């Protein structure tokens, strides 16, 4: 189930790729990239345990077997591998699937994908822990803003973060905007959502919860 953003609540299948070019301290999927324990949990994951190479046709067969209409490709940062994903995405679209990418917005999409998939771009704010030059890449954000159907989703901890979001939107044209609360538990998400809600609506932006966290907490899928 897609728990965030414009497709919230839809049944889907996930392709979760390993490796990321950022190191967000509060990342909820550190097992895809954190081999040194730099995140908030302090856990160093083993890539030999977490990552498994598969031919794209095998991935396709698994996804088709789920019998869902939507496939979400996430990470880590999936667009660092986007050239290798083109055959899979084409085959999914040809078989009637919708395809969405979850990306941090630092790597511009290639033309072979922009006509096939939708993008939910999540530019990172200062509380991610990465320096601005790493997490905000003007050329990449401009490329995403030019792709029809792209949504921009910002993870916020407090209403004060909304001023930082506004500066990014004004500077790079990252619209439409979705604001999502940070949190690994249902209680955290619920509390932050309540703190953000009125201010988000007042700014004319969209609001999304993290539905999967409310239902399953931080338990990993199988």
What would the pLDDT profile of 113-133 be if each residue is shown by its tens digit? 999 999 999 999 999 999 999
Domain count, the chain: 1
Q: What is the pLDDT of residue 219?
A: 84
**Residues of each annotated binding site for S-adenosyl-L-methionine:** 26-28, 76, 122-124
Domain-located, residue 222: no
Domain-located, residue 221: no
Q: What is the pLDDT of residue 217?
A: 86
- Confidence class for position 221, pLDDT limits 50, 70, 90: confident
d(CA 8, CA 88): 23
Q: What is the pTM of this model?
A: 0.95
CATH number at residue 70: 3.20.20.70
* Residue found under tokens 């908030």: 40
**Residues of each annotated binding site for Mg(2+):** 29
Phi, psi at 55, each rounded to 5°: -60, 145
**Residues of each annotated binding site for [4Fe-4S] cluster:** 20, 24, 27
Name which of 74, 57, 67, 58 is nearest 11 in CA terms. 67
Count of CA atoms in the C-beta half-sphere (13 A) of 47:
10
**Residues of each annotated binding site:** 16, 20, 24, 26-29, 74, 76, 122-124
- Confidence class for position 63, pLDDT limits 50, 70, 90: very high
Domain-located, residue 57: yes
- Confidence class for position 111, pLDDT limits 50, 70, 90: very high
Domain span including residue 171? 5-216
Average pLDDT score over the chain: 96
What would the pLDDT profile of 174-193 be if each residue is shown by its tens digit? 999 999 999 989 999 999 99
Average pLDDT (86-107) is 98
């Amino acid at each position: 189930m897609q728990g965030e953003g414009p497709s919230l609540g839809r049944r889907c299948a996930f392709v979760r790729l390993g490796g990321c070019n950022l190191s967000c301290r509060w990342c909820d999927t550190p097992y895809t990239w954190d081999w040194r324990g730099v995140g908030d949990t302090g856990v160093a994951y083993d890539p030999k345990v977490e990552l498994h190479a598969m031919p794209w046709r095998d991935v396709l067969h698994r996804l088709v077997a789920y019998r869902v209409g939507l496939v979400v490709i996430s990470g880590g940062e999936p667009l660092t591998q986007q050239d290798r994903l083109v055959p899979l995405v084409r085959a999914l679209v040809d078989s009637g699937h919708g395809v969405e990418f979850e990306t941090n917005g630092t790597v511009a999409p290639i033309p072979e994908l922009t006509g096939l998939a939708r993008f939910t771009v999540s530019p990172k704010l200062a509380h991610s822990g990465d320096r601005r030059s790493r997490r905000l890449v003007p050329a990449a954000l401009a490329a995403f803003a030019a792709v029809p159907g792209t949504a921009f989703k910002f993870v916020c901890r407090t209403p004060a973060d909304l001023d930082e979001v506004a500066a990014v939107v004004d500077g790079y044209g990252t619209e439409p905007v979705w604001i999502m609360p940070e949190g690994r538990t249902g209680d955290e998400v619920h509390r932050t959502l309540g703190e953000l809600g009125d201010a988000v609506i007042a700014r004319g932006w969209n609001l999304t919860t993290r539905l999967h966290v409310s239902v399953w907490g931080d338990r990993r899928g199988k």
